[in-house]
Amino acid sequence: MTTTHSRTAGPAGSSEPTAPAAPAARKTTYREAMREAMREAMRADERVFLMGEDVGRYGGCFGVSLGLLEEFGPERVRDAPLSESAFVGTGIGAALAGLRPIVEIMTVNFSLLALDQILNNAATLLHMSGGQLPVPLVIRMTTGAGRQLAAQHSHSLENWYAHIPGLRVLAPATLTDARCVLAPALADPDPVLIFEHGSLYNVSGDLPADPGPVDLDHAAVRRPGTDVSLITYGGSLPKALAAADDLAADGIGAEVVDLRTLRPLDDATVGGSVARTHRAVVVDEGWRTGSLAAEISARLTEQHFYDLDAPVERVCSAEVPMPYARRLEQAALPQADAITAAARRTLGEVGEEPG
Amino acid sequence: MSATRTPRTGRPTSRPGRAAAHRLALLESMLRVRRFEERCVELYSAARIRGFMHLYIGEEAVAAGVNEALTDEDAVVSTYREHGHALARGVPAEAIMAEMFGKVTGCSRGRGGSMHLFDVSRRFYGGNAIVGGGLPLAAGLALADRMTDRDRVTCCFFGDGAFAEGEFHETANLAALWGLPLLLVCENNLYAMGTALARHQAQTDLALRAAGYGMVAWAVDGMDVLAVEEAARRAAEGVRAGGGPHFLEMRTYRFRAHSMYDSDRYRDKTEIEQWKERDPVEGLARRLREAGELSDEARTALEDRLAAEIDAAVRAADQAPEEPIEDLLKYVTSPVKASRP
């Protein structure tokens, strides 16, 4: 089966998903929200420490940990040598011995150097030891494209990790999630991977004064709608919301579901949305083949075949290593107009007025 | 069956009675591994044990000697050739045998098999079948001790093959840089599976290379349990004194093939026979006999005791239940999730 999706270059979605501003809300950025979460965790629990490349003196390669070294000192904000496998494995060992490490890896592409430790140790030790060795480790890393960083800094490989039993995989897409997923991740007795889309760090908006807690077991409906479900996560959420705006202008109500947790997937929320709208577009910055979008599409077919009024559409990245040139890079990525077009196809297939 | 913990005799003293008893305990520790694994070969041939199984026969002096330098509070991280390390650490033979039989009473509840023995109660952290994969983990255990001011040593065993892995070099650098309380024990048996040391390393003096990372490092006769023990004690004391990671290259040899699947075509038979002349078990037994510390009767009694212990382990493993299929997905994630607010 061949499916052709047009993916014309266009501006990245600029719509900023935020919770409705509460009276005491204050302006912040995704980066600052994540930093605040780490600061809070380290103040609350002396077992928590941060380890990774350039997390200390440099302040984190994307500036997330700026200032933490000054507050917590070099023992707890630990600059590691450029040895992904060693410092991720060291995090695993420290977790086994009772600490609560947060390990930062610069990008998901670099995490492949630590894939052995993440898969063969972190995800596996509990089972392989017959339940003796839970690994309460949090690994944070940047993912995704859009910043012209080319093919070794831009890929979206979180679905590789979402394939692995034993891991919990998170993709906070909003300021509130950036601020609130770390605490429950640290409280999880098992390894948790947090994927931070690079395009989100500078996103600013209002953070409610009391934003938490965030439920890691459930996806979030970011915008209600009745005609089509746009199912997405991470850096694609702003694009899906922008597409929903475009569709609304034509009277089409798109419901936007933010997966938030990529493993385990929340079938109930995704399926519940599709049971209401009967149409689904899955937006995923990973490559289409073997993608998370493929998994969700398969689950919808298994669980909601008779709810669907049209084939599930997928908007994914073009199957090419991420190119540098802006025009090419934008053409390779899911864009709002491609999402809008896919949503229209799901409506056109049944030839009915939305409603 | 009672636990078959190796008697821990403490530091040898100059008093002849204590020292002789200590040497006898070392002999027993090594002989237990030897006889246990010989039984494993029979059981493997009878298809009672399946999967990959790697024998330690010939290398027993390393596990027995190094264990003497460790306390119950210390940690051990091992490889897939770890029956000897586990037994020396005190993991009961019954729990190991049951594991290899795939039984629920196994030390990993039948999830691990021969290559993945775990016993957290003895701080035995397995059982790693990725060459070099245990090294970063050991560094993490050591880092936690450092950060919480616990006076403990983490001992990590690995082979000469691991010297070709990036994880060894990454961990050696990180551990030396951070001064971690880590005892690195390289079991150089001269072969990375079937590839001879000189065919996989440009510089075959492994201790020399470890020293290049700023660690105290030296090579030891790994066929002499007393030499191993002495070196391990010195190294562990250096670690406990805050001297950072210490590295021991144990020059040893496996008498059997790499695994049960290996037809051992890559080694000269005369080489194997020459090393067997330096058998660590019989070498120590001979010394003890010559010193009048081990009579023929005592040797026979020891053999009988170990045979009975292993018989009991096999019997118990044989009779133990298997994990029910309903528990297939158990231990993939922890039973109680704290993620829900």
Same domain, residue pair A191 and A224: no
The residues, ordered by sequence, that sit 6+ positions from A32 with a Cβ below 8 Å of its Cβ are: none
Whether residue A2 is contained in a domain is answered as no
Whole-angstrom Cα distance, residue A343 to residue A172?
24
Instruction: Give the residue from A42, A127, A190 with the most B CB atoms within 10 Å of its CB, the best one to mutate.
Output: A127
**Do A124 and A262 reside in the same domain of the chain?**
no
Q: Residue B257 CB: number of other CB atoms within 10 A? A: 19
The CATH number of whichever domain residue A271 belongs to comes to 3.40.50.920
- Domain enclosing residue B268, as ranges: 16-321
What's residue B23's pLDDT?
Answer: 97
Same domain, A108 and A146: yes
Is position A160 within any domain? yes
Boundary-marking domain end, from A207, A242, A263: A207
- What are the angstrom distances between the C-alpha of A89 and each of A52, A193, B217? 12, 14, 23
Task: List, for chain A, all residue ranges whose pLDDT scores fall below the cut of 50.
Answer: 1-17, 21-22, 349-355
| Distance between CA atoms of residues A238 and A114, nearest Å | 30
Q: Is residue A135 part of a domain?
A: yes
Residue B337 lies in a domain: no
Nearest CB to A166; choose among B128, B130, B332: B332
Domain for residue B188, yes or no? yes
Instruction: Classify each residue of B57-75 as buried b or exposed e, where b means 16 or more C-beta atoms within 10 Å of its C-beta.
Output: bbbbbbbbbbbbbbeeebb
- Residue B201, both tokens: 């390393």
Identify the domain boundary among A184, A207, A230.
A207
Task: Exactly one of A32, A53, A104, A153 is catalytic; name it.
Answer: A153
> Residues A48, A189: one domain?
yes
DSSP B203-238: S--HHHHHHTTT-EEEEEETT-HHHHHHHHHHHHHH
Whether residue A129 and residue B136 make contact (CB cut-off 8 A), yes or no, is no
Nearest to B140 among A83, A97, A217 (CB): A97
Average pLDDT over residues B100-118: 97
Angstrom distance (rounded) from CA A139 to CA A118: 9
HSE value, Cβ hemisphere, 13 Å, CA-based, for B14:
0
**Nearest CB to A93 within list B118, B140, B341:** B140
Residue closest to B76 by CA, chosen among B184, B204, B222, B229: B184
Q: Is the residue at B333 inside a domain? A: no
Whether B7 maps to a domain, the answer reads: no
Task: Assess if residue A4 is contained within a domain.
Answer: no
Examine the residue annotation and report whether A84 is marked as an active-site residue of this protein.
yes
CB burial of residue B196 (10 Å; 0-12, 13-18, 19+): middle
Subunit contact B339:A86, Cβ cutoff 8 A:
no
Within 8 A of A49 by CB-CB distance, chain B residues are 147
Q: Tell me if B3 is assigned to some domain.
A: no
* A145 and A291 fall within a common domain: no
pLDDT mean across residues, chain B: 94
Look up the CATH number of the domain holding residue B287.
Answer: 3.40.50.970
Q: How many CB pairs under 8 A join A and B?
A: 170
Question: Is the bond leading into A264 cis (omega within 30 degrees of zero)?
Answer: yes
The whole-number pLDDT of residue B7 equals 46
Residues A161 and A239 both lie in one domain? no
Hey, are the CB atoms on B174 and A93 less than 8 Å from each other?
A: no
Catalytic residue among A53, A84, A104, A295: A84
DSSP A48-65: EEEEETTSSSS--TTSTT
d(CA B249, CA B208): 9
- Residue A224: CB partners within 8 Å, gap ≥ 6? A253, A255
Q: Is residue B108 part of a domain?
A: yes
> Is residue A199 domain-shared with residue A327, that is, in the same domain?
no
Residue A93: per-residue pLDDT = 98
- For A251-279, the pLDDT digits (tens) are 999 999 999 999 999 999 999 999 999 99
- Predicted confidence (pLDDT) per residue in B37-56, tens digit: 999 999 999 999 999 999 99
* pLDDT at B37 (0 to 100): 98
- Name which of B80, B122, B124, B147 to mutate to probe chain A: the one with the most chain A Cβ atoms within 10 A of its Cβ: B147
Cis (ω within 30 of 0) for the bond into A184? no
- Nearest one of B42, B110, B114, B115 to B321, comparing CA atoms: B110
Same domain as A253, residue A343:
yes
Active site residue A218: no
Residues A139 and A59 in one domain: yes
- Contacting residues of A for B139, CB less than 8 Å apart: 86, 89-90, 93
CA B321, CA A106: separation in Å to the nearest integer? 47
CB B131 within 8 A of CB B158: yes
Q: Are residues A240 and A296 in the same domain?
A: yes
Residue B328 near chain A (CB below 8 Å): no
Residue B114 lies in a domain: yes
Region of A166 (left: φ > 0; alpha: ψ -120 to 50; beta: rest) is: left
Q: Which residue of B has its CA nearest to A122?
A: B137
Residue A7 placed within a domain? no
Domain boundary among A182, A207, A232: A207
Burial call A120-140: b when 16+ CB within 10 Å, e when fewer: bbbbbbbbbbbbbbbbbbbbb
Predicted pLDDT at B14: 54
Length of chain A: 355
Range(s) of the domain holding residue A284: 220-350
DSSP string, B14-71: SSHHHHHHHHHHHHHHHHHHHHHHHHHHHHHHTTSS-S-----TT-HHHHHHHHTT--
Of B128, B130, B143, the CB nearest to A94: B143
Inter-residue contact B116 to B125 (CB < 8 Å): no
Residue B224 within any structural domain of the chain: yes
Domain count within chain A: 2
Q: Is the pLDDT of residue B97 over 60?
A: yes
Q: Are residues A192 and A46 in the same domain?
A: yes
Mark yes or no for CB contact B338/A184 under 8 Å. Answer: yes
* Residue A176 shares a structural domain with residue A238: no
Domain count within chain B: 1
- Cα separation, B227 vs B260, in Å, equals 30
Q: Which two tokens stand for residue A197?
A: 């889309």
